[in-house]
Chain A
Amino acid sequence: MGFDDFVRSRSTGLLRVAYLLTGDRHAAEDLLQEVLEQMYVRWRRIDGAPEAYARKALVNRATNRWRARARRPETPLGDQHEQPEPDHGEDVAIRSAVLAALRDLPARQRAAVVLRYLDDLPVHEVAAALGCSEGTVKSNAARGLDRLRRELGPSLIPEGVEL
């Protein structure tokens, strides 16, 4: 697969991961562009499994980005990009709750949860992306999920439904 084809076919999925890692749409777009630029420069070296490379780079940079997130002030939910439209009020509420809950997770828990459950990656691939052992991925994902359940349960499960 050439670089252009890779960008065309995979950028949406990678942007979704970046979005949940950063919590901000503009930051996610910046992040993805930075990673793709880096891959463009090194394409000959990483051709073969570019998606895994991209994922790892996203996680590394998202951690730094999170640390330095004021480079671009985070766009508060509900601004012009996320104005709830009549038909999408529930989605906006979900997004708000999910991003707030993810923001409260330590970086590795957040990355483990996003890669494992949004990207649906097997544990060994998450471990490779995070540069840690599979056991660490499992414990981070489990802790992250516990916290998400605690945070998201009440806001996302309709009244009367038992958790």
Chain B
Amino acid sequence: MTDTEIRDVLNRAAGDVNPAPDLLDRVRAGGHRRVVRRRVALGGALAVVAAGGLAPLARRRSAPAMFDGRIRGDLAGDTELAGRVKNAYGPGSQVRWIGDTPYGPVAAVTKPSGTPGYDFQSFVETVGGELRPADGATMVPEGSVQPAAMLAGPDRDVLVVITGPSGVTYSEKFSIDAAGRIARTFEPLIETDGAVVLRIPAPDSFLPIALRSGEVPDTVWLANLETVVDASGRADNQLPPRIDWSLPGREKAWRDEPTGSEKDWWDVGTQPAYLDPFGYHTWTGPTEWHLSGATADGRRLVVQTLQLDGRARAFWMTGRAGEKPRVNYLGRLEDGLSTDATDGFGETFPILHARLPQQLGVAVAALNCQLRFRVRGEAWLPIAGHAAVVPAAATELEAQPRQGRAIRVSLP
């Protein structure tokens, strides 16, 4: 099959898809709502900043735009170095900032992208005494430089941030609070001539930092995230499968399937508080489950796992149609909610077994396994499919992979 044939089949597959006639109207209406939401969010952020006694955002907002054609940074006067940086980044490149770091000079650079009106923006760093471009680049409007960052040094423990005119806030680490949400504290980075050079703890197997830019909070591109993550061998981008499983008895409680924002109530994977949108994370991790069913009294029930950096948290929610459910946190899977087993191919697979409060049962799941459970020493009862919420009285679970021996797990 040739490349041309691939092009042809992709075109034929997508060929007759057309946008709705009222797309523009809907976009404009939705855009207005976003403006309002972001203003509300910004108001909250300002309140937090003021309460913490940090530098007021207004001061950062009025900071001078750095991209007026002159090179910035403490090494800006070194024209010979700037020339070598340009050579390293290639034809048409411009040095926007150049400064010293504990590992030698680093520069923020741009060059034409080949797309009219757009430049590439990236970094050049010093590696082994030589100037070397960072692996990635981001596209920015021509003539501008956007907030961006890179990790310099052999241990990637020096953070270089181009702050831009609206400022960047920094969070060194995050924690998971008692509700399973990502908790962070952001503090403004005080820029010097358009950038900040900051020593940070060397990333181990994960990168805990976060950067947030602008008056309307936005993410900050990290130039060599891929390189840093690759170094730990986890960047194969193998997204864990997300399995959505309808439990028996679901139909009545979910007769009116939620839509729009109501649908998001029932999915913590859509709620920013649980996702760390300004952090840098890998996508690897155990299977994500979203089990939806009903409680004995007819309420909706959702049990969900959500991965982050190779780990997963478990949540449950109940509520009636039209009610916003409270998200309840069960804990991290590694804390007794899951057991790792090995199948006959030598592959490790997780078995979820999360006991729910209020006698709601035990959520169990194992991908591509036959499951059964029992109560104390009684007969084994089969489970249809990969997942279920078994009765609270269940005391033991068995998972039989396609190849290999069955694994038994007690359900305390």
Contacts and interface: CB of A to CB of B under 8 A. Distances in A.
A25 B12 CA distance: 14
Interface residues of B, number: 59
B379 interface: no
A17 B16 CA distance: 12
B27 A7 contact: yes
A8 to B, nearest CB: 7
B139 A49 contact: yes
B13 A108 contact: no
Interface string B11-24: 11111111110011
Contacts of A145: 3, 6
B9 A49 contact: no
A89 interface: no
Contact of B13 (A36, A46, A71, A99): A99
A127 interface: yes
A40 to B, nearest CB: 3
Contact of B136 (A42, A67, A113, A133): A133
B142 interface: yes
B138 interface: yes
Interface stretch (B65-73, B189-197, B236-244, B389-397): B236-244
B13 A122 contact: no
A46 to B, nearest CB: 7
A160 interface: no
Given A33-B23, A128-B113, A148-B6, A16 B34 contact: no
Interface string A1-18: 000100110011001110
A70 B27 CA distance: 23
B91 interface: no
B52 interface: no
Nearest to B29: A37
B211 to A, nearest CB: 14
B31 A40 contact: yes
B35 interface: yes
A55 to B, nearest CB: 9
Contact of A157 (B1, B113, B236): B1
B26 interface: yes
B1 A32 contact: no
B30 A33 contact: yes
B116 interface: yes
Given A68-B242, A106-B238, A37 B27 contact: yes
A128 to B, nearest CB: 4
Contact of A48 (B13, B114, B141, B288): B141
B46 interface: no
Contact of B270 (A49, A66, A71, A122): A71
A47 to B, nearest CB: 8
Interface in B221-274: 221, 226, 236-239, 242, 244, 263-264, 267, 269-270
Interface string A49-86: 10011001000000100111111110000000000000
A125 B34 contact: no
Nearest to B268: A68
Q: Which 4 A-B pairs have the closest CB atoms?
A: A40-B31, A70-B244, A49-B118, A98-B13
Given A48-B117, A67-B288, A133-B137, 15 more contacts: A20-B10, A32-B23, A40-B30, A48-B118, A48-B141, A49-B117, A68-B270, A71-B263, A95-B12, A97-B9, A113-B10, A125-B113, A132-B136, A135-B135, A152-B6
5 contacts: A11-B23, A19-B14, A98-B12, A131-B226, A132-B226
